[in-house]
Amino acid sequence: MPGGPRLPEDVLARELATLPEWTRDADAIQRTWRFADFKTAMIFANGVAALAEKANHHPNITVHDYNQVTLRLWSHDAGGLSARDVDLARTINATL
Amino acid sequence: MPGGPRLPEDVLARELATLPEWTRDADAIQRTWRFADFKTAMIFANGVAALAEKANHHPNITVHDYNQVTLRLWSHDAGGLSARDVDLARTINATL
């Protein structure tokens, strides 16, 4: 499993408590941002893409409703949420 | 209605017959592309964004499953599909 295993539920709950901006949805976590306009939303999406490439971990990125971006993170390999998701969410929070 | 009215069903059917790559889903049209990798998918998403800005008509753009991009077009103002959606779909088909 290249990205590490699925996190045990208690560990995951502890990690997610430190990421209150992210919402759990089944086996994924999501966060939505709203920007001034479409261009700014695209700039943000590209920033996320650069961090995703660096981490070699690729979220779903949706630019929607003109000025919003929703990210959805999960680990396909692990069949759920792994440390890579938590790490990338933290990096995005800290960097963008 | 800045973007023109919702297209009558018979006109819309005729237009969509010329856009077989696009699938109708309720009051929207969608198309999905698959690329070599995430970077190429992002480059495509940025190409779409440039065309969308030029047209001042902004689809939902989802980069998903590592190397896929799904576009969803509809006209919020018109409450459904308008000529702007058909025009932008045609422009994307022809340009990218």
Q: Classify residue A61: in a domain, yes or no.
A: yes
- Choose between A3 and A41: higher pLDDT: A41
- pLDDT in the model for residue B2: 64
For the whole model, what pTM was predicted?
0.95
Contact between A66 and A39 (Cβ < 8 Å): no
CA distance B71 to chain A (A): 10
For A68, the enclosing helix (H) or strand (E) is: strand A68-73
Question: pLDDT tens digit string along B52-72?
Answer: 999 999 999 999 999 999 999
Q: Classify residue B38: in a domain, yes or no.
A: yes
Q: Classify residue B3: in a domain, yes or no.
A: no
- pLDDT in the model for residue B4: 84
Query: Which residues of A fall within a CB distance of 8 Å from B62?
Result: 60-64
Contact between B93 and B19 (Cβ < 8 Å): yes
Q: Write down how long chain B is.
A: 96
DSSP B95: H
Q: Classify residue B65: in a domain, yes or no.
A: yes
Q: Classify residue B1: in a domain, yes or no.
A: no
CATH number at residue B70: 3.30.1360.20
Where in the sequence is the domain holding A66, given as residue range(s)?
A: 9-95
Residue of B nearest to A66 (CA): B58
Q: Classify residue B71: in a domain, yes or no.
A: yes
Total domains in chain A come to 1
